[in-house]
């Protein structure tokens, strides 16, 4: 079957997301149809290239890809500098398109390199993790981490197209696949409760990588994000809803130096904390918190947080990107599929929310 096409509107022009099992097999045709120039340089990680390089290499006439380390702790300007060096060695010019093949970290770093090298090169996102397929590859946000916070250095650089092939997800470790499911739960909380029901009822099919079930879940997540970012590309309003669970989640990643959690795991904790804060505020129904707690627990264990410094986590929230003119824009759930933005969250409330997920604050 031909891949499903979802269109995203961006200031630089609309771009498509193609979702379909086996899409990598028609990768060159999709790139040609999208008008991507013939000079294409692939940037990936050693692991992704070992697993999927044979299928991906057909997208480029270059003999070898640029390979860089993967993982949040490598998501730095130093690693991006290695991409710049390789692009200079290969004499990349403004007609060159960069193909980011990998998970969310690779997509963010390579996207940032594409946004800044020669003041902007064409970019294609080829996500190979569930997290990247349902979230980070879509929307044009690219960047790297800083010791004080996640993605504090970055840009908006929409891709020419996104190609999501759920078939590649069969190579993911179960923990990595679960990490992506937490991000899908986020979409269920903020926009479409049916996704939550789907995960709850179809766990065996999801973990056995049923092509139809996984593809439908990826496509719906992409539809939700495409709709939101098309109406608010630069996160001045509605797009902030996508940060549900990320405020405290990003602080958890930063305080552990990006070594303990998969991004989705930190977001899972962040969502539970946000729901607990909302319940304490009286804006979130307690039944919603209980339902999400049960679902997160049913998916599998999360790394422990009991030894983490609560006060430092609360302090790091103050460095989050969602702080604008000294005001934290905190997304709270008012019911499955509905949210509100709180601009008066206190330090005391944040400490209580952190305590609710098992951290001494």
Q: Which residues are catalytic?
A: 119, 141, 183, 225, 235, 239, 243, 246, 250, 263
How far apart, in whole angstroms, are the C-alpha atoms of residue 292 and residue 188? Answer: 10
What sign has the CA pseudo-torsion 200, 204, 23, 67? Answer: positive
Residue 346 buriedness (CB in 10 A; 0-12 / 13-18 / 19+): exposed
Q: Which stretch of DSSP H or E encloses residue 252?
A: helix 246-255
Q: In this structure, which long-range contacts are made by residues 171-176, counting pairs with CB atoms below 8 Å and at least 24 apart in sequence?
A: 171/51, 171/52, 171/128, 172/129, 172/130, 174/207, 174/300, 175/262, 175/300, 176/103, 176/129, 176/130, 176/131, 176/262
Picking from 220, 12, 216, the residue whose alpha carbon sits closest to that of residue 120 is 12
Residue 4 to residues 17, 56, 166, 191, Cα–Cα distance (Å): 8, 19, 12, 21
How far apart, in whole angstroms, are the C-alpha atoms of residue 63 and residue 359? Answer: 50
What stretches of the chain adopt beta strand conformation (E)? 4-8, 15-19, 40-44, 66-67, 97-102, 122-127, 141-146, 149-156, 161-164, 323-324, 327-328, 330-335, 338-342
């Amino acid at each position: 079957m031909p891949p499903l096409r979802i269109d995203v509107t961006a200031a630089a022009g609309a771009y498509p997301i193609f979702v379909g099992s086996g899409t990598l097999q028609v990768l060159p045709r999709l790139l040609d149809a999208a008008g991507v120039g013939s000079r294409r340089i692939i940037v990936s990680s050693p692991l992704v290239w070992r697993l999927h390089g044979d299928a991906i290499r057909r997208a480029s006439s270059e003999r070898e890809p640029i390979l860089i380390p993967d993982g949040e702790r490598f998501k730095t300007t130093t690693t991006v500098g290695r991409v710049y060096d390789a692009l200079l060695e290969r004499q990349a010019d403004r007609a060159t398109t960069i193909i980011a093949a990998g998970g969310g970290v690779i997509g963010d770093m390579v996207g940032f390199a594409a946004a800044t090298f020669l003041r902007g090169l064409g970019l294609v996102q080829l996500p190979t993790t569930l997290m990247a397929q349902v979230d980070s590859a879509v929307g044009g946000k690219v960047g790297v981490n800083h010791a004080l916070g996640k993605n504090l250095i970055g840009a908006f650089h929409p891709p020419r197209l996104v190609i999501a092939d759920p078939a590649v997800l069969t190579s993911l470790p179960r923990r990595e696949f679960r990490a992506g499911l937490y991000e899908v739960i986020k979409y269920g909380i903020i926009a479409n409760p049916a996704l939550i029901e789907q995960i709850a009822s179809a766990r065996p099919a999801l973990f056995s990588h049923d092509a139809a079930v996984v593809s439908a879940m990826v496509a719906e997540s992409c539809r939700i994000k495409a709709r939101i970012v098309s109406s608010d590309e630069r996160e001045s309003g509605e797009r902030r809803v996508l940060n549900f669970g990320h405020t405290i989640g990003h602080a958890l990643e930063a305080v552990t130096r990006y070594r303990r959690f998969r991004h989705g795991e930190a977001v899972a904790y962040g969502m539970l904390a946000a729901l607990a804060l909302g319940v304490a505020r009286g804006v979130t129904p307690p039944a919603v918190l209980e339902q999400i707690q049960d679902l997160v627990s049913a998916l599998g264990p999360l790394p422990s947080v009991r030894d983490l410094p609560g006060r430092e986590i609360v302090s790091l929230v103050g460095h989050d990107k969602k702080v604008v003119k000294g005001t934290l824009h905190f997304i709270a759930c008012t019911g499955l599929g509905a949210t509100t933005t709180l601009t008066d969250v206190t330090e005391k409330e944040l400490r209580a929310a952190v305590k609710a997920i098992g951290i001494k604050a």
